[in-house]
């Protein structure tokens, strides 16, 4: 009797250890993410999600297509091209920092082992500027949106392809940190990103349709009618946090960079189509 | 002697009836003002903002995230249960999309009381 009992106890222990060791991999997370939306919106083809909320909002889509005939972000692309082509005071240019640019959106964000952090495109732009004696640009409003618009436009058609290098466990840790942020409730209103953009994607809050998380990173920077200008992804993160009455984090700080890393990975496979125009 | 006490009983009975009617009229008036104020709180975007998710009679362009607020007294026969739900909806449903209006002090206690009067009347 005692032997049987001991065997059962060992079995129970083995089972529980196996179960707890089975944390999901990023690949499994991505498959689950896509499946969630496939089940929620069975008639929407995967590539359509690159259009964000307009993949699931036919009336909004009509308005959007009308706006896209005279895209409000066009002047920003032109300004951005001028920025790209004008050399810095020291004679060097963005092209020297980014030989493969300006069509380089799909290279970001990436895990930089040497710097030990997630590098986003806006961060890389400022690192380039500072390395060449130029002042860094602000990360939410202003001229960063010009150069980002140009880079996004030139990169249209590239495929989202974020990698999480296995040789550096800190990369996976950054991904997991971003994932945790995404699913954690915050603010006086007690919402997580997932509450609106997974759980309630496609539902209406007043008369606005909540956009699906799939497609959220493909079209930045964005001309938002509400802003009356082009703004960055981290500006939107900040706004979303404020909307749930949570204290926003710093643009291009660790939290939002890790969040971008996770969220962009969840958008892997989707075509890039920035800059975008939204409500 | 008997006649006098009979009259006294009738008179005090009439007084009590009138007082009773006055008191209940007063509390009905208080209830209806609480309901009116509760409605304002429900429709105020910075307070209840209930229309964000709930269809409510008298409200325009409601969201559809949550059940419509109708037949409330059959859904919550006990008004205190409704107050608890608005206070902290995560108790009944940890996956809820509804903010904890009381627990996180989105509304004051008095605002919550008035809001409950309104919602329970739907």
Q: A70: which 2 tokens?
A: 């005279």
Q: What is the pLDDT of residue B32?
A: 84
A14, part of any domain: no
CB nearest to B65's CB, from A188, A189, A200: A200
Rounded to two decimals, the ipTM of the complex is: 0.85
Query: What local confidence, expressed as pLDDT, does residue B11 receive?
Result: 74
With respect to residue A16, please indicate whether it lies within any of the assigned structural domains: no
CA-based nearest distance A58→chain B, Å: 17
Instruction: Name the pLDDT band for B90 (thresholds 50, 70, 90).
Output: very high
Provide the pLDDT confidence category of residue B73 given band limits of 50, 70 and 90. very high
Cβ <8 Å between B100 and A191 = no
> What pLDDT, on the 0 to 100 scale, is given for residue A14?
46
CA atoms within 13 A on the CB side of B111: 17
pLDDT at A18: 43
Check if A193 is active-site. no
Is A192 inside any structural domain? yes
Q: Mean pLDDT, to the nearest integer, of B22-37? A: 75
Residue of B nearest to A196 (CA): B97
Q: From the CA of B11, how many Å to the nearest CA of chain A? A: 58
Q: Would an 8 Å CB–CB cutoff place B31 in contact with chain A? A: no
Helices (H), chain A: 2-21, 26-40, 58-67, 74-85, 94-97, 121-131, 144-154, 169-183, 193-194, 233-243, 254-266
pLDDT at B28: 63
Residue A171: CATH number of its domain: 1.10.760.10
Taking only the tens place, the pLDDT of each residue in A54-111 is 999 999 999 999 999 999 999 999 999 999 999 999 999 999 999 999 999 999 999 9
Q: Which residues of A touch B94 (CB under 8 A)?
A: none
pLDDT at A23: 84
Which among B62, B50, B60 has a CA at the least distance from the CA of B98?
A: B50
Residue A189: which domain range?
A: 25-279
Q: For residue A9, what pLDDT is reported?
A: 53
Low-confidence ranges of chain A (pLDDT < 70): 1-22
Q: Give the model's pLDDT for residue A17.
A: 44
Q: What are phi and psi of A277, to 5 degrees?
A: -125, 130
Q: Give a yes or no: residue A18 inside a domain.
A: no
Looking at the 3D structure of chain A, how many domains does it have?
A: 1
Contacts with B97 from chain A: Cβ below 8 Å: 191, 195-196, 199-200
Average pLDDT over residues B93-113: 98
Res A182: pLDDT: 98
Residue A1 lies in a domain: no
Q: Which of A195, A199, A205 sits opposite B52 (nearest CB)?
A: A205
Beta strands A276-278 and A117-119, pairing class:
unpaired
Judge whether A15 lies within some domain. Answer: no
| Reduced DSSP (H G I as helix, E B as strand, rest coil) percent helix, strand, coil of chain A, to 5 | 50, 10, 40
A18 or B26, greater pLDDT: B26
pTM for the complete prediction?
0.88
Note whether residue A37 is domain-resident.
Answer: yes
Taking only the tens place, the pLDDT of each residue in A109-125 is 999 999 999 999 999 99
Average pLDDT, chain B: 90
Sketch out chain B's domains with CATH numbers.
2-120 (1.10.760.10)
């Amino acid at each position: 009797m005692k032997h049987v009992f001991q065997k059962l106890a060992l079995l129970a222990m083995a089972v529980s250890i196996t179960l707890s060791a089975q944390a999901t991999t990023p690949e499994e997370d991505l498959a689950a993410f896509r499946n969630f939306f496939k089940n929620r919106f069975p008639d929407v083809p995967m590539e359509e999600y690159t259009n964000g909320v307009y993949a699931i909002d036919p009336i909004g889509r009509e308005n959007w297509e009308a706006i896209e005939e005279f895209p409000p972000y066009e002047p920003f692309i032109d300004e951005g091209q001028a920025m790209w082509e004008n050399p810095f005071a020291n004679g060097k240019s963005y092209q020297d920092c980014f030989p493969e640019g300006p069509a380089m959106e799909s290279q970001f964000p990436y895990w930089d082992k040497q710097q030990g952090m997630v590098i986003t495109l806006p961060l890389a732009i400022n690192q380039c500027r500072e390395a060449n004696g130029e002042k860094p640009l602000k990360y939410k409003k202003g001229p960063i949106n010009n150069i980002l618009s140009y880079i996004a436009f030139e990169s249209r058609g590239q495929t989202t392809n974020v990698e999480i290098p296995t040789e550096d466990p800190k990369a996976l840790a950054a991904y997991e940190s971003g994932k945790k942020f995404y699913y954690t409730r915050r603010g006086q209103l007690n919402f997580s990103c997932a509450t609106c953009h997974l759980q309630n994607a496609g539902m209406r809050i007043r008369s606005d349709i909540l956009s699906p998380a799939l497609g959220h990173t493909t079209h930045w920077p964005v001309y938002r009618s509400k802003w009356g200008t082009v703004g960055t992804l981290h500006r939107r993160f900040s706004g979303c946090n404020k909307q749930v009455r949570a204290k926003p984090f710093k643009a291009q700080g660790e939290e939002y960079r890790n969040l971008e890393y996770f969220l962009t990975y969840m958008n892997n496979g989707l075509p890039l189509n920035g800059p975008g125009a939204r409500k | 002697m008997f006649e006098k006490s009979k009259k006294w009983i009738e008179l005090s009975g009439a007084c009590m009836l009138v007082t009773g009617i006055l008191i209940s009229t007063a509390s009905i008036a208080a209830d209806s003002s609480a309901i009116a104020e509760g409605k304002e709180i429900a429709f105020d975007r910075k307070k209840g903002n209930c229309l964000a998710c709930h269809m409510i009679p008298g409200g325009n362009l409601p969201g559809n995230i949550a059940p419509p607020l109708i037949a409330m007294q059959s859904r919550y026969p006990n008004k205190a249960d409704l107050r608890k739900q608005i206070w902290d909806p995560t108790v009944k449903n940890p996956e809820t999309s509804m903010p904890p209006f009381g627990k996180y002090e989105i509304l004051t206690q008095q605002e919550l009381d008035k809001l409950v009067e309104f919602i329970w009347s739907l």
